[in-house]
Amino acid sequence: MPNYFINACCFAAKRAIICGFFRPSTIFGNIMVVIRLARGGAKKRPFFNIVATDSRNRRDGRFIERIGFYNPMAAGGEVGLRITEDRLAHWQSVGAQLSPTVARLVAQNKKAA
């Protein structure tokens, strides 16, 4: 194996360490959990899942757990909002932050119950 190939590999590894490729958060699993809405449904017919997810994930991307749903277009006897209170309490107890919209929906849910 040529010597310049080994030097290039060592340089790439040093650069990855210096540039923060191996961040402590990716090695030790420190993540910030956020409880927020993930959009679903069809065009002009929104439906939102209330999910616990890593703050770095996309809005509709991967999530840790689905803890409820919100249907802003609920009509008649349909349920518009359902939140699993014990799972919400669990995630808040371990440090998850609520998005402003989810905080408003939780307050509405407690007021209605």
Residues 41 and 60 in one domain: yes
Residues 75 and 99 in one domain: yes
Residues 53 and 89 in one domain: yes
Rounded to an integer, what distance in angstroms lies between the CA atom of residue 24 and that of residue 88? Answer: 28
pLDDT digits (tens, 9 = 90+) for 32-91: 899 999 999 999 999 999 999 998 888 888 889 999 999 999 888 888 899 999 999 999
Identify the domain containing residue 14 by its residue range.
1-30
Q: In the predicted model, what is the mean pLDDT of residues 103-113?
A: 89
Residues 26 and 36 in one domain: no
Q: Bigger pLDDT: 41 or 26?
A: 41
Residues 19 and 1 in one domain: yes
Residues 16 and 41 in one domain: no
Rounded to an integer, what distance in angstroms lies between the CA atom of residue 68 and that of residue 98? Answer: 13
CATH code of the domain containing 76? 3.30.1320.10
Residues 48 and 103 in one domain: yes
From the number of C-beta atoms within 10 Å of its C-beta (0-12, 13-18, 19+), residue 46 rates as: middle
Residue whose structure tokens are 């402590």: 24
- 107 pLDDT exceeds 70? yes
